[in-house]
Structure 1
Amino acid sequence: MTRKYKVLFLCRENSARSIMAEALLRELAGHRFEAFSAGPEPALRIHPLTVAQLRPGVSDLGVLCPKSWLEFTGEWAPRMDLVVALDASVAPPHAPAFPGDPELSAWHFADPLADGISESERVRLFQKVFWQIVRQLSAFIEAPQDALLSRATSARGARPRAPANLPNL
């Protein structure tokens, strides 16, 4: 049996981008990866537009919830292989030290929760970011198993097709 790579996605509030990445990686390649997400200022709940984006193609939304990144810094925390910052506010050197010295990467996406966005623009931005994350994860998943960690940051420009089990928005 091959061990699963542990991947932690970071975003400030852990209610949108990082939750999407966690849920999508678990759904698309849960047989190869254990996915987690967290942030320094976790929201009280997942943003409703995040749930709306995930609901059609993600089978287990019930396991998702915003978490503090401190849950992943203690001796008891799972040892990550890769930590991915999804915005500049959580990228090194802002992020804490995670046990096991995981590889750090940055996949920056626009913040769909940014101030000054109309509700219709916000809905469109959630859709756009969702599909950007799908493309990024698809390239990451398609990388050879032994090269996944070393190529984590180079997949950004790849344009693989979206997996069939996700909705076309």
Structure 2
Amino acid sequence: MAEALLRELAGHRFEVFSAGPEPALRIHPLTVAQLRPGVSDLGVLCPKSWLEFTGEWAPRMDLVVALDESVAAPHAPVFPGEPAFSVWNFADPLADFLSEPERIRLFEKVFWQIVRQLSGFIEAPKYARPPRPTPVRGATSRALAGLPTCDVPR
């Protein structure tokens, strides 16, 4: 969800990826339900292991943001380029104890929390101005070309 939202809000200024320690097989339908059809590029969304971003050909990142303390820096792999690490804690809408109506409400709540957090992030002085143009590195394009496509529920 955070990847899609940052692409919507400032994708022209950031190269955005998302990954985790135990990726799901597909994007959760309640995540897709929160995103805006025709605005969110669902074709690029795919659950990925963060190990895809640790190899020689992985894109170099400036910042890694964990959306839960359980995947914070002490638990994360080493990413090339030694990016800064930040933790933005959000409730887990997939927690086992939630009823389906609670889960739906929590997905919506987390969606808006992520929107607010990202809005502040992209307006931070460090990121508020457009970046200087930089050449596209071959390693980045090769890494992206190797990413799998996903079956996104519609």
> How would you bin the TM-score normalised by the shorter chain?
0.7 to 0.9
Q: Is the 8 A contact 1:55 1:61 kept in 2?
A: no
Q: Deviations over 1:54-77 (max 9, x none)?
A: 134733111100000000001100
Higher strand share: 1
Q: Distance in 2 between matches of 1:63 and 1:57?
A: 13
Residue number in structure 1 paired with 2:36: 55
Q: CA deviation at 1:86?
A: 0.5
Q: Distance in 2 between matches of 1:70 and 1:36?
A: 12
Q: Distance in 2 between matches of 1:146 and 1:49?
A: 30
Residue number in structure 1 paired with 2:116: 135
The residue type paired with residue 53 of structure 2 is F
2:18 aligns to what SS in structure 1? strand
1:36 and 2:22 equivalent? Answer: no
Structure ranking higher on relative contact order (CA contacts 8 Å, 6+ apart): 2
TM-score under structure 2 length normalisation: 0.80
1:75 and 2:75 equivalent? Answer: no
Q: CA deviation at 1:137?
A: 0.1
Gaps of at least 5 residues in structure 1 are 1-19, 149-169
Higher helix share: 2
The residue type paired with residue 48 of structure 1 is P
Q: CA deviation at 1:107?
A: 0.3
Q: CA deviation at 1:146?
A: 5.7
Q: CA RMSD in A?
A: 1.6
1:38 aligns to what SS in structure 2? coil
1:97 aligns to what SS in structure 2? coil
Q: Deviations over 1:105-161 (max 9, x none)?
A: 00010000001100000000000000000000000011123689xxxxxxxxxxxxx
Structure-2 change in CA distance of 1:140 and 1:57 (3 Å): farther
Match for 2:76 among 82, 92, 95? 95
Whose Rg is larger?
2
Q: State the percentage of identical aligned residues.
A: 86
TM-score under structure 1 length normalisation: 0.73
The residue type paired with residue 121 of structure 1 is E
The runs of at least 4 consecutive aligned structure 1 residues that moved more than 2 Å come to 55-59, 145-148
Match for 1:113 among 72, 78, 94? 94
- Counting matched residue pairs gives 129
| 81-90 or 55-64: bigger deviation | 55-64
Q: Is the 8 A contact 1:88 1:108 kept in 2?
A: yes
The residue type paired with residue 96 of structure 2 is D
Structure-2 change in CA distance of 1:75 and 1:134 (3 Å): same
